[in-house]
Structure 1
Amino acid sequence: ASAAATVTSVKIIKYPARTEFLKGADWDFGYYDVPDNGFGTFVSGGDKVAFKHYGGYHTRYEDLGMLDMNGLVVRVTYSDGKTADIAYKETVSGISVYQNIYASFRKKVKPGINSVEVYFKPYNGVSDFYDINLVTTATEKGDVNHDGKVNSADALIVLQHVVAIKLLNAVDYNIGDMNTDGSINSFDALLILRKAVA
């Protein structure tokens, strides 16, 4: 895109590899107390959710860590008509972290389903959204309907997504992607059925 072109559309075309985050391992209640040029110390307690993915690198004040968005790919359309598929990139060198795609929560982050807004800077109101799930117990791979069992009902939901009858959100998409290849197809439904009868 040319230097004068602005972002006119942002569309997620591939969800991040992780959309479910486990309390204790991936997040907890608290914040990072970050000194000048420091890594930060996690302070537990309170009702703020803090992520543990490279947490505490950004500011010298309270910091809620970073959301792991690795694997995210968005299609960006610019005002000059050009489009580009851009993958989230994260490089760590010392304490500096760079990303080309930004995200924020429009509501206070809490356990359960949270909506993440994805955008580019400078923010001009153009964005897309995906859901993440903050859990205290990990969901079993294949349990797309979250009923605690992997069975034919889950396979049916995956097949409904495949034929575009009912599309899965980002959380359920990753749970239904049985072979973790980044796509949902009938093979994932077959793997769910195999797991159900195993």
Structure 2
Amino acid sequence: MDEAEFWLLDVVVTGRVPLEWLLWEDLDEALNRPGHGLDPDALLDMMDRLFRGGFINARRPQRSGDHGELGRFLHRSEIEATLHGFESGMSYGMTARGGARWEAVTKPDWSRFLDESAGIDPDEVEVLGLDRDRVASHLRQHTLWAVVPGSERWEKLVPWQATYWKTIPRGYRVTVDWQREAPTKAPDWDAYKRWIQWYDNPFDA
């Protein structure tokens, strides 16, 4: 696996990305990471190879009242049209085979993986993880939200859909309230980055 192929898989580990974004001039800003570095022809060749290899698939956004489109294969002409914005709304993501290929080079420790996001209620935050103690420690020491003490509501998930392509036999979700006006200390970004690290990037300098 070369660096460009790794980038195209790694960027969709936790969520799908619209195909047309891949040719945006502001891709770095949109994804908050350096871009893939491929010119349009090289990008098309790489995406075509990943689709044909069964490592990625594509889907349209889920519409109200349906269950969404299952991931589908795109032919080269469809990939090209979508990349250039002639077929909008199509996103791509990893298949289970692509996930296994990514895992083979990154050696992820799923016990360290944490999924933190705003809850359904705007005054709530959710944190999910395989290791209950790690989820609890995250809330106590590392979350960037001002959590209301004593507001934790725990739930065991069997199985746990850790990402859209990865299912783990067990996981935990905790929902907490947060204080919008509460002061928060300035985060130690280096420590936070080490804390949330759960896999290796073989191309890190």
TM-score range, shorter chain: under 0.3
Q: TM-score, normalised by structure 2?
A: 0.26
Judging by fraction of residues, say which structure has more helix. 2
Q: Of Structure 1 and Structure 2, which has the larger fraction of its residues in strand?
A: 1
